[in-house]
């Protein structure tokens, strides 16, 4: 009887799962059969590879050549407010598709898979992690977060903080200005648009601390730049930044 109930419960569980989650991989349409597979199959997740070409030691921009990392011309002229930024790979192909599923299709169950990918790619980068006191996600404007139902950067930051055992600070760095979607704007417009868009409302865990900012996609760096300015204004010792991909 007990075995029967257990089997029946297991069947209900699987049925519930099939209702809430698609049963085919959203990227390759293969049937999701393994117990821990959600939305994307294990093969597709293992296919996500970090970029191994050269990059700017400061802003993290990828270079096309395979030489040693060095400073880009922009960082030689003027360094950003954050001391270092790194992303795992280009916003392209299956990495882009996975981020879109996570961010716009609302499959936040992918947070663990993406955090694991981030740590496989950049988990040993001492320039990012050494001495970090707290992790802070790039905030969304409250109205936008309400509409989306969640903040993708928070989900990712939460998972990274858990896996790395670092304090997570949420709701202290906030977005105070509603801005149009950054993708629709030129670089200079983006900067202007985001000016003073972020503020720190409580400096506990920020003042005199080394902060790692987390976001999903890096485009021109304006968002990270403005968040870093707000954090430095609140007394942060150093701000570093990490994103999954760069466009
Ligand atoms: Zn697949
Ligand atoms: Zn640079």
CA 26 to centroid of ligand 1, rounded, Å: 7
Is the predicted pLDDT of residue 3 greater than 60, yes or no? no
Measured in Å, residue 207 CA sits from the centre of ligand 1 at 44
Cα separations (Å) of 242 from 70, 83, 108, 118, 122? 18, 11, 19, 9, 9
Task: Look up residue 82 and give its DSSP letter.
Answer: S
- Where are the chain's structural domains? 24-246
Cα 86 to ligand 2 centroid, rounded to whole Å? 10
The rounded Å distance from CA 145 to ligand 2 centre is 30
Domain 24-246 has CATH 3.40.50.720: no
| Nearest ligand, CA 77 | 2
Distance 60 CA to ligand 2 centre (A): 6
DSSP state, residue 168: E
Distance 218 CA to ligand 1 centre (A): 25
What is the pTM assigned to this prediction? Answer: 0.87
For ligand 2, a single-atom ion, which residues have Cβ within 5 Å? Answer: 56, 58-59, 72, 75
Instruction: HSE, CB side, 13 Å, CA atoms: give it for residue 128.
Output: 24
pLDDT of res. 182: 67
Kindly state the helix (H) or strand (E) to which residue 86 belongs, with its residue range.
strand 84-90
Q: How far apart are CA 218 and CA 85, in angstroms?
A: 9
For residue 80, name the pLDDT band (cuts at 50, 70, 90): very high
Tell whether the model's pLDDT for residue 1 goes beyond 70: no
> How close is the Cα of 55 to the center of ligand 1, in Å?
29
Ion ligand 1, residue ranges at CB < 5 A: 25, 27-28, 30, 41, 44
Q: Please report which confidence band the pLDDT of residue 237 belongs to, taking 50, 70 and 90 as the band edges.
A: very high
Strand pairing of 210-218 and 134-137? Answer: parallel
pLDDT digits (tens, 9 = 90+) for 95-148: 999 999 998 888 888 899 999 999 999 999 999 999 999 999 999 999 999 988
pLDDT at residue 88 tops 70? yes
């Amino acid at each position: 009887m007990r075995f029967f109930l257990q089997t029946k419960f297991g069947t209900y569980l699987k049925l519930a799962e099939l209702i809430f989650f698609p049963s085919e991989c959203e990227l390759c349409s293969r049937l999701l059969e393994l117990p821990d597979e959600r939305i994307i199959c294990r093969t597709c997740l293992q296919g996500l590879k970090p970029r191994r070409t050269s990059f700017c030691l400061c802003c993290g921009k990828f270079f096309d050549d395979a030489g040693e990392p060095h400073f880009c011309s922009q960082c030689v002229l003027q360094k950003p407010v954050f001391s270092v930024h790194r992303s795992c790979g280009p916003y392209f192909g299956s990495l882009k598709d996975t981020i879109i599923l996570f961010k716009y299709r609302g499959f936040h169950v992918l947070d663990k898979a993406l955090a694991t990918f981030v740590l496989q790619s950049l988990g040993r980068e001492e320039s990012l992690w050494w001495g970090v006191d707290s992790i802070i996600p790039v905030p969304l404007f409250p109205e936008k977060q309400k509409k989306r139902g969640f903040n993708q950067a928070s989900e990712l930051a939460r998972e990274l903080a858990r896996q790395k055992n670092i304090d997570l600070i949420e709701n202290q760095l906030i977005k105070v200005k509603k801005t149009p979607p950054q993708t629709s704007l030129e670089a200079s417009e983006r900067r202007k648009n985001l000016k003073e868009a972020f503020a720190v409302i409580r400096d506990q865990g920020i003042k005199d601390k080394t902060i790692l900012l987390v976001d999903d996609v890096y485009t021109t760096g304006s968002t990270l730049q403005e968040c870093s300015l707000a954090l430095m204004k609140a007394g942060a010792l150093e701000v570093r930044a990490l994103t999954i991909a760069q466009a």
